[in-house]
Structure 1
């Protein structure tokens, strides 16, 4: 049997052999190693570029050389690995324009893109400064953020005014979203008009976005005219909410297209004059109308529902139903396989919810341009995701005999 003293000695010796790792120290060491590697690699690349331009290595003397080295100057570059020091060669007799880093650039492009995204996402300038200091160890001045925003605005404007491909867009979804902006010391609503189209191959595209002070006829007319001038053609159906200015503008700019009123918004208008206790029952009745096999049967069912509503003493709901039901059944003139997706304006409503989520943190925009730019930036991001890459509907059902042409 071992003595207690001997057991204590063995325990102490085992504890002395335990290796303790300081995670913070290891991370710092790894970061320094990566930083040194990045710095060394960039400087080697700069030296190689200088050697190719002068046709001679460092300190080499040849008759064929085009220029001479004259030392170097240091330049700081902020990277995700830390602040690295570049030794940029000075040359005589030949200009040195490096492809490694753009002239006057002080940060990685990924850092600049992150700053733009933060600002466009509604993060305040002061908050951006704090975030950049925490992430990269250096603050970004408000002037830098302003310059980056101008750069981003230029890209967004180019995207917004791009020429559309020379193809047909049979289905177009349009809507307006209201945001608050400052106007003459007061806060007013500004409408951002958005249009989404389904192309001949069945993919969705954001074809346009514009600022409209109000959803009046002039704003809608100018917006739709700009879409037509940029190449929007072959429109067979326009889907939107019940807005008289919108309907009149669609008829004027796209006279060959039919108009489909969003059935969900139509139901909401009817529910506004229906007591809550009858809500579920009326909802089932309205759904039964759109569950019919064709337009004639749906209209017949609508008349029966209106009669039942009058027996329930819901005369206003019956009047609204008969006045607007025909506008919500236009989709039945198109292939049945597309009915579910062209009956409502849900495809653009989902984008509107995403826009509101991104703009809620701002509250009130300083002007209409900043509101439009943020909305467009978000739209561009959504389009570049799976939303724009996923096929939305099979267009061979619409074009029929032209299906082979579509697939080609």
Structure 2
């Protein structure tokens, strides 16, 4: 488990003070740029609706001051923002509801930039506990706004729900011409069992590659691979024309059981690695050239 231990003595280092000044300049620049972008967005919105007027000739869409300041976590650190507001008095003739301006740059619910949101699950997967997020990101970004332990806990629930939705999605409308299969062995948060991640990547007829399924299994056993392939078949996946994998016998046994009509091909990358592993390093350049000619 990763933990964060703040170094109080580091604050006395002159380099840290210089770094802090740089960070402040970057954050101030980010704040000004964000404010300018929000103002320009509102100005363009209002200008585009300048012809919308009521029976007295008054504009239906005008500015309405600024919202209360809020801090948004960005890759440059926490930035304070006062978003401009819009008074939009247009009414939808069908629903009777008033129109509302919603910023594409800074939605009302936004408290973190997408870049920061993408980093959080990576840190979690690397073993950072929910209680360590606050001191870790506060040291790095200069603030912990919007990143409390409770927030991280809620996010982990969202990630788990997203993972479950991905694992349950329908595959009947997708035709995978061929698939790659491989086992990724990990050694974190494990007891005595030798677990690994079973990964299946599919290629559509138009050449697009996408992740089909991923799950944990015991080693790379036939039973674990068969469970994954049967789940894909249950969700509507048709038999691919070709399956590519390494020399692990478990996958091939499961493939013949679930999709017996699928042709088999050993992964060339794994095959090259196996050949080179049996040769001295001095022979690798010539062997690679010969293997390329064979391919």
Q: Deviations over 1:89-128 (max 9, x none)?
A: 2526353322221221122221222223222222222332
Task: Confirm or deny: 8 A CA contact 2:215 2:228 kept in the other structure.
Answer: yes
Residue 85 of structure 2, aligned match among 89, 92, 96: 89
Residue 168 of structure 1, aligned match among 167, 177, 199: 177
CA distance in 2, matches of 1:38, 1:249: 56
Tell me the C-alpha RMSD between the 2 structures.
Answer: 4.4
CA distance in 2, matches of 1:165, 1:107: 34
The yes-or-no answer on 1:104 pairing with 2:104 is no
What does 1:10-25 correspond to in 2, within 5 Å?
none
Corresponding residue for 2:149?
Answer: 142
Structure 1 gaps of 5+ residues are 1-21, 57-61, 261-330, 332-337, 347-392, 398-408
Residue 135 of structure 2, aligned match among 126, 130, 133: 130
Residue 43 of structure 2, aligned match among 48, 52, 59: 48
Task: Confirm or deny: 8 A CA contact 2:241 2:263 kept in the other structure.
Answer: no
Residue 193 of structure 1, aligned match among 189, 198, 216: 198
Task: Confirm or deny: 8 A CA contact 2:61 2:88 kept in the other structure.
Answer: yes
CA distance in 1, matches of 2:271, 2:24: 60
Task: Confirm or deny: 8 A CA contact 1:35 1:84 kept in the other structure.
Answer: no
What does 1:277-316 correspond to in 2, within 5 Å?
none
CA distance in 2, matches of 1:130, 1:25: 17
Task: Confirm or deny: 8 A CA contact 1:181 1:187 kept in the other structure.
Answer: no
CA distance in 1, matches of 2:44, 2:207: 48
Structure 2 gaps of 5+ residues are 1-16, 90-97, 275-291
CA distance in 2, matches of 1:143, 1:89: 30
1:204 Cα deviation after fit: 7.4
CA distance in 2, matches of 1:159, 1:226: 12
CA distance in 2, matches of 1:32, 1:236: 50
Residue 33 of structure 2, aligned match among 29, 38, 50: 38
CA distance in 2, matches of 1:254, 1:174: 17
Residue 256 of structure 2, aligned match among 241, 251, 258: 251
Residue 78 of structure 1, aligned match among 73, 77, 92: 73
TM-score between both structures, scaled by the size of structure 2: 0.59
> Whose helix fraction is larger, Structure 1's or Structure 2's?
1
1:83 Cα deviation after fit: 2.0
CA distance in 2, matches of 1:205, 1:97: 33
Query: CA 1:41–1:216 in structure 2 vs 1: closer, same or farther (change >3 Å)?
Result: same
Task: Confirm or deny: 8 A CA contact 1:74 1:88 kept in the other structure.
Answer: no
- For these two proteins, the number of residue pairs brought into alignment is 240
1:227 Cα deviation after fit: 3.7
Query: CA 1:259–1:342 in structure 2 vs 1: closer, same or farther (change >3 Å)?
Result: farther
TM-score between both structures, scaled by the size of structure 1: 0.46
CA distance in 2, matches of 1:26, 1:251: 63
Q: Deviations over 1:138-178 (max 9, x none)?
A: 22201222333344445555655574853421x74444746
CA distance in 2, matches of 1:108, 1:189: 38
CA distance in 2, matches of 1:257, 1:168: 10
Q: Deviations over 1:351-399 (max 9, x none)?
A: xxxxxxxxxxxxxxxxxxxxxxxxxxxxxxxxxxxxxxxxxx99xx8xx
CA distance in 2, matches of 1:69, 1:189: 62
Secondary structure in 1 matching 2:25: helix
Query: CA 1:343–1:204 in structure 2 vs 1: closer, same or farther (change >3 Å)?
Result: farther
Query: CA 1:257–1:112 in structure 2 vs 1: closer, same or farther (change >3 Å)?
Result: closer
Choose between structure 1 and 2 for higher RCO, CA contacts under 8 A separated by at least 6 residues: 1
1:27 Cα deviation after fit: 2.9
CA distance in 1, matches of 2:73, 2:21: 22
